[in-house]
Chains A and B, each alone.
Chain A
Amino acid sequence: MSTMAFLKRSPWILHYDASSCNGCDIEVLACLTPLYDVERFGIINTGNPKHADILMITGGINEQNREVVRNIYEQMPEPKVVVAIGVCAASGGIFRECYNIVGGVDKVIPVDVYVPGCAARPEMIIDGVVKALAILEERREKMTGAAQTKESARQAAGEST
């Protein structure tokens, strides 16, 4: 019950490959294809940051993609959740000692869910998305709650004048 309750809102996913080896990327795509098929929950992979609710990033941050990752994140509308997929996205993984790797994705943008693994398995990625959905729902409620408070405050102010 609990999982389905979160799924009432079908999130759209944006996938970006920061500096992954492709292993996690193809597993993210495998989630969308017939065997794992997250599309049955209404989860759709979009190419447009402005359509996306969940940002899935694979691989660590390097010098050149730092700005790209931040740019994509900032273009996404609130509420949004970031899922870091694979150990490279968490800490830099096997490449953490390379000269061009800054570290995990959290060096640049806030990360909400970490999915471990090298490469992360599709089952784990789906679990990560389910966790992200809960966080997304919470944020959405907080936002609508804040909007309502604002609205009623405005109304109260309007009545008094």
Chain B
Amino acid sequence: MPERIVVPFGPQHPVLPEPIHLDLVLEDETVVDVVPSIGYIHRGLEQLVQKREFTEYVYVAERICGICSFMHALCYSQGIEHIMGIEVPDRAKYLRTIWSECSRLHSHLLWLGLFADGMGFENLFMRSWQLRESVLDTLEDTTGGRVIQGTCKVGGVRRDIGQEKLDEMHRALDPFEEECRDLGDIFLNDDTVKYRLQGLSVISKDDAYALGAVGPTARASGVPVDHRETGYAAYGDLGFKPVVETAGDCYARCAVRVKEIYASIDLIRRAIDQIPEGALDVKVKGTPDGEYFSRVEQPRGEVVHYLRGNGTKHLARARIRTPTLANIPPLVKMLPGAQLADVPVVVLSIDPCISCTER
């Protein structure tokens, strides 16, 4: 029997922009067991609800994660709106959808780049990030911020997108989609990429479901969960079908995200076509009293904000369960059997967002 050795992985590691630490138990080159440890970014921001008023906490919620910041703000705002019984104007719902999908685009392009970098495909990394910049330009033009937008608030949105800008965005979508399809083609059809990813760290449909996997990690194994199906914001009007793959390997997880880019472009196009005129926000009166589990589909999967108000300006509790925390058990089950050299690729394949995870 080969000797077992323990190799520490992280917290500072060349392919991970964020710190996570794994103790990998190896037999020769093969991983047999994994013990994750987190906490390098734990800030304790759930407790800030006691110091920030419920309307101000949106800013903190946005900074749970700088990549899916808009969706954290959206999830929080929708939770408070549900507790207080606020009905948001339709135009605000559409704008929220457009910004959500822009965030998803930039997040998936960012991930594709990092994933290519993890595989050692530097060229593809640069190309993905180059495409991502045009999404960030749109976000900056419409919200004023590249990564932290600050446009979502309790009761609606803070800014409008003018018709001229909407038309411009619509026109830009076609060439952008073409470029994305060229990029996606390499991820889906290139032999080198396939060789690295196919059959790597397979997780079956039953396992993925039982372990509580969410987002693209679950959908790549054939579990069709996508919270956009519940029709929050304007998704109900736009019609939506989750992207599902069945292989459950790293290649499938990559394919889901590539196809979600196309789906997001399509959603933005339809949202711009259908956006109604109207107000941007409603006045928020009173204080939240009650509780709600607010859920939104982020690029990494379903996020849960448990919000509980006690009739004062400060919430009694905010508990945030982020998609990466739910995807850690599947990751721990995924790694055994992989080669040491493939560990970075497998870890990246769940799209870990550590600052979300640890809050």
CB atoms of A25 and B63 under 8 A apart: no
Q: Are B44 and A98 in contact (CB under 8 A)?
A: yes
Which residues of A does B touch, CB under 8 Å?
15-27, 29-30, 33-35, 46-49, 59-60, 62-65, 68, 72, 94-95, 97-101, 118-119, 121
Alpha-carbon distance between A59 and B11 when the two chains are bound, in angstroms = 15
Check: B247 CB closer than 8 A to any chain A CB. Answer: no
Asked if B63 contacts A23 (CB within 8 A), the reply is yes
In the complex, the answer to whether A100 meets B64 with C-beta atoms within 8 Å is no
B146 touches A65 (CB 8 A): no
Considering only residues 184-227 of chain B, those with a C-beta below 8 Å from chain A are: none
A17 in contact with B148 given A65-B41, A100-B44 (CB within 8 Å): no
Residues of B within 8 A of A (CB): 11-15, 17-19, 39-45, 47-48, 51, 59-60, 63-67, 69, 110, 113, 125-127, 129-130, 133, 136, 145-148, 353-356
Q: B66 to A21, Cβ gap below 8 A? A: yes
Name the B residues within 8 Å of A121 (CB-CB). 146
Measured between beta carbons, the chain B residues less than 8 angstroms from A72 are 12
Q: Is the CB of A94 within 8 A of B17?
A: no
In contact, B355 and A22 (Cβ under 8 angstroms): yes
Question: Count the A-B residue pairs with Cβ separation under 8 angstroms: how many?
Answer: 123
Q: How far is the CB of B47 from chain A (nearest CB, A)?
A: 6
Known: A95-B48, A99-B44, A118-B148. 5 other contacts (CB 8 A): A15-B17, A23-B67, A47-B13, A97-B51, A100-B43
Contact A26 B67 (CB under 8 A): yes
* Cβ–Cβ < 8 Å partners of A95 in chain B: 43, 45, 48, 63
Q: Are B45 and A17 in contact (CB under 8 A)?
A: no
B67: chain A residues at CB < 8 Å are 22-23, 26
Question: Is B353 in contact with A22, judged by CB distance below 8 angstroms?
Answer: yes
Q: In the bound complex, what is the Cα–Cα distance between A37 and B17 (angstroms)? A: 18
**CA of A47 to CA of B15 in the docked complex: distance in angstroms?**
8
Q: Measured between alpha carbons, how far is A25 from B41 in the docked complex, in Å?
A: 13
